[in-house]
Amino acid sequence: MVNTAAIPSKLQDRAQWVCWRIVHRNNRPAKIPIDPGTGNYATVTDPATWTEYSTAQDYYHCEDVDGLGYVFTADGPYAGVDLDDVRNPDTALVEEWALDVLLTLDSYTERSPSGRGYHVLVERLTYTTFYFNLGAMPLGWRVIIRHHA
Number of domains in the chain: 2
Let me know: does 66 contact 36? Beta carbons within 8 Å. no
User: Which residues constitute the domain of residue 115?
Assistant: 78-148
Select from 70, 93, 108 the last residue of a domain.
70
pTM: 0.76
Residues 82 and 118 in one domain: yes
Residues 109 and 137 in one domain: yes
DSSP assigned state of 7: S
Let me know: does 124 contact 135? Beta carbons within 8 Å. no
How big is the chain by its Cα radius of gyration, in Å?
A: 16
* Neighbouring residues of 27: CB distance < 8 A, sequence distance ≥ 6: none
Q: What is the pLDDT along the chain (149 residues), one digit of tens a residue?
A: 677 788 889 999 999 999 999 998 898 888 899 999 999 999 989 999 999 999 999 999 998 899 999 998 888 888 888 898 999 999 999 999 899 989 988 888 999 888 899 999 888 765 444 545 444 444 444 444 444 44
Residues 92 and 32: their CA atoms lie apart, in Å, by: 27
